[in-house]
Chain A
Amino acid sequence: MSETRSTSTRTVPRWAAAPEWMTAGLLVAVFGVSAVFVPRFLDAAYLFDRSSLYMEAGLMALGMTFVIVGGHIDLSCASMLALVGTVVATLHVKVGWPLLPLVFLAPLLGAMLGGINGIVVARLGLPSLVVTLATMALYRGLAQVLLGDHSLNLPSWFTGIERVTIAGTLVPVPMVLFLGMAVALGWVLHQTVFGTWLFAMGTNAEAAQYSGVPVERVTMSVFVISGVLSAMAAIIMISRLGVARYDHALGLELDVITAVVLGGVSIFGGRGTVAGTVLALFLIAVLQTGMGVANVKAEYQATASGALLILAVLMSNFSAKLRTWTQMR
């Protein structure tokens, strides 16, 4: 795998060889196929309405982009979502705290949960796969302890955030939030020193350490970022569904990782862009929406998404091989 990563592309400009182009191409292709073959697909209101369902996964995918670029993985993001959602709902409904301040405190709770992941990974040097596997069970378990099998209803003024649109347009608020965060985090990842450190750490943590990158602090930060974004996704989800339950977003971490990898972020760390993740998220949204309109059952769609992920990686491997082969000639 290291052979494919070290491929330099002198004949083609660097940006043109980026896997993000394949994601973009697939997005256009899937959109085109859906538009031609699926009647009623090209209804802007419907498209916006459907894609707002994916913004929770999208926010978490932005955080996961940071984590994976840094050479780690965060399996606990969906559990953090569930725990933040249940804590916020419990404090409001059972303890009686006002909801609005809680909404703004939620990211802080997310930062704490992510911080726990970060401390264990960075300080104790344990593999993130194992640590977040444990906190994935732990955080969702705590949510279950808090609520059991019950669901807490939230007040009606708070629910339905996905139906609120920016005045005069069809763009729903969650999408604005997602795109806003994408721009902000894209700037952090690609324009700041922190971003440079992150890429260095993801490429080779030891070398980065010797080059003066504060590896421990950067590692902590990526998990905190992931926690904060999961908390934001939690608020959107409990508003959209109107209830908080411990099993919200069960298994969503896999969809999140799928989106990130599909967007061209290397699972080994050190390579990836926020733009790729955003493209991949819309690709998944359009694909599943298209299949939904075409009456493909939700369970079957999992097959298509899974196949898509593998296909994307195989194609990028193949195109990398092809490039090295043409260079050798």
Chain B
Amino acid sequence: MSERIRLAQMRELPTLGLWVVICVVTGVAQPKFFSASVFHSILLWMPLLLVVAMGEMMVILTRGVDVSVGSMMGLAGMVVGIALRDHPGIGIYWATVLGMAVGAALGAVNGVLVAYGNVPAIVATLGTLGAYRGLVHIISRGVQVDEYNLPRELGRWSIDGPFGQTLVPWVVIFAVAAAVVTGLFLRFTRTGRDIYAVGGNREAARLRGIGVSRVTFLVYVLSGLGSGLAGVLYASRFGTINPAAIGSGFELIAISAVVVGGVSVFGGSGTVGGVVVGCVLLGTISTALTVLNVAEAWQGTMYGVVILVAVILDKWMGEELQLT
């Protein structure tokens, strides 16, 4: 019995099942699906989403939501692009630090508004979604940063991997590292546990002596930090940084990945493993549609269906759990 409860408590299980089904169906229909090149394209699809989803997940754990991630990613990526174009001397490592710092600063603005200004999370980040996107256009003067403006080494991150191989590029390693660090942080540090406590029951967390405002502020900073890193990875992956394109609409993919990964939008429950599975699932679907030669037009419909199926499965499993 307890074994069964433990299984049902693993909220990532339905998503994992869904993923296996999709893999098997696609593999049967098109055996080429199980090849190194498909594996490679799934891997390359994920890094941006994974780092953004880590931050988004922590925000949703505290019962908030951050819809400004796409705009933060855009603004940080644009700052990095302009810095590398106008001052190539700073190098890609400092540029990465710059991108993350810009992201964290933008996230801090959200954090102050939500944690100390008492502005509801969706309202505050909806406002900064528009504000930051406008700033991307203002600082870039509407001009995109082109591939030849960026140092070649930045692009190599999306091609070369450690030990000279090309199957798993550096950007994937960075994203996985970010996920591992997030997982350890949430599992083993006091602040990490506080994030769950604040989302689970805000008032109880406050009475327990947890600095609720401080924790709330922190998750938005971390969300900005991840978005900033995603901005740098975007520059590496795509080469051109267009003010209207970079990160546009990304908030919805990120929230989808988090929700599909079994994180409760009511806060307090969800795991990094689940979100990773959610990202893998979305990446697999996107690649599977290409492999199966399904028109790209079906992508949106598929996302919608998958999110619905995932949350309904999750809800249903949760009710099963209560019955046992």
Contacts and interface: CB of A to CB of B under 8 A. Distances in A.
Interface in B112-162: 113, 117-120, 122-124, 126-135, 137-138, 142
Sort chain A's interface into a size bin.
35 or more
A138 interface: yes
A135 interface: yes
A133 to B, nearest CB: 6
B119 A134 contact: no
Given A4-B118, A302-B130, A310 B142 contact: no
B127 A137 contact: no
- Chain B residues touching A, majority SS: helix
Contacts of A314: 113, 117, 119
B105 interface: no
Interface in A92-124: 120, 124
Contact of A139 (B67, B117, B304): B304
A179 interface: no
Given A134-B307, A251-B249, A317-B119, A306 B127 contact: yes
A115 to B, nearest CB: 15
Contacts of B295: 145, 148
Interface stretch (A48-56, A208-216, A235-243, A254-262): A254-262
Interface string A127-154: 1011101111111111011001000000
B200 to A, nearest CB: 16
A304 interface: yes
Interface of A: 1, 4, 73, 120, 124-127, 129-131, 133-142, 144-145, 148, 246, 251, 254, 257-258, 261, 267-268, 297, 299-310, 313-314, 317
Contacts of B130: 254, 258, 302-303, 305-306, 309
Contacts of B119: 310, 313-314, 317
Contact of A309 (B127, B265, B299): B127
Interface residues of B, number: 47
Contacts of A302: 130-131, 133-134, 137
A136 B311 contact: no
B255 interface: yes
Given A137-B300, A254-B130, A299 B120 contact: no
B301 A127 contact: no
B243 interface: yes
A130 B126 CA distance: 16
B59 interface: no
Contacts of B117: 313-314, 317
A304 B134 contact: yes
A299 B119 CA distance: 25
B180 interface: no
B301 A309 contact: no
Contact of A267 (B120, B132, B135, B259): B120
Contacts of A145: 295, 297-298, 301
